[in-house]
Amino acid sequence: MPARIEPALPPFDDNVSVALDRVMKGQPPLRLFTTLARDPRLFQKFFAGGLLDKGNLSLRQREIVIHRTTALCGSEYEWGVHAAIFAGHAGLTQAQLRSTVKGSAEDACWSDEDRVLLRLCDALHERCDIDDGLWALLQQHFTGNAIIELLMLAGFYRTVSYLTNGLRMPVEEAAARFPA
């Protein structure tokens, strides 16, 4: 299925070029980024909301939330980009990647902390809320600032999923696909 909106072509706005160079580190920019680059204001707003920097979460924690959220939202595009680029660095196994799409927090491949992250993603996706029991579990594993970051991260990647799904973004050539 073709994309609904074609990406911008170089040359890009100077601020867009600087941001793309910083994020892509010499690799060709992702189609999502070049599509957003059609409007430098929207591009900058999107990049300002990103949480891929060193924050209150480990790379593994961040990637579990991103993978589960994008899988729940059906965003094969974004799930696949993160599976290809970040999953190995985050120590996610093939069983864990499969579980983010087809499994649950109860799968044997997860630690107790991982399970709390998956339950958080599931609750936010289903109810846009966290019940008191899950909140207590979160507090056992994460600081208040980390919990805020988890909420922002899940929300940001739900927005990313809206973009990639609504724009019918074709999966990147080097990206992973959802497991069969």
Q: Is the pLDDT of residue 32 over 90?
A: yes
Q: Where are the domains of the chain?
A: 14-48, 59-166
Question: CA 168 → CA 40, 102, 115, 174, 178, distances in Å?
Answer: 21, 22, 31, 17, 16
Q: What is the pLDDT of residue 14?
A: 95
Which pLDDT band holds residue 2 (cuts at 50, 70, 90)?
confident
Residue 112's SS3 state is: helix
Over range 52-72, report the average pLDDT.
Answer: 94
Domain 59-166 -> CATH class: mainly alpha
pTM of the model: 0.94
The tokens of 39 are what? 């409007």
Q: What is the pLDDT of residue 171?
A: 97
Report the chain's mean pLDDT, rounded to a whole number: 96
Q: For the chain, give percent helix, strand, coil, nearest 5.
A: 60, 0, 40
Over range 99-117, report the average pLDDT.
Answer: 98
Q: What is the pLDDT of residue 6?
A: 95
Q: At what angle do helices 112-127 and 132-141 cross, to 10 degrees?
A: 140
Among candidate residues 87, 151, 94, the one with its CA nearest the CA of residue 117? 151
Over range 131-157, report the average pLDDT.
Answer: 97
What is d(CA 15, CA 93) in angstroms, rounded to the nearest whole number? 37
The tokens of 15 are what? 């601020």
What is d(CA 78, CA 156) in angstroms, rounded to the nearest whole number? 12
- Between 31 and 50, the more confident residue is 31
What is d(CA 96, CA 100) in angstroms, rounded to the nearest whole number? 6
Q: Is the pLDDT of residue 52 over 90?
A: no
Residue 73's SS3 state is: coil
Which pLDDT band holds residue 1 (cuts at 50, 70, 90)?
confident
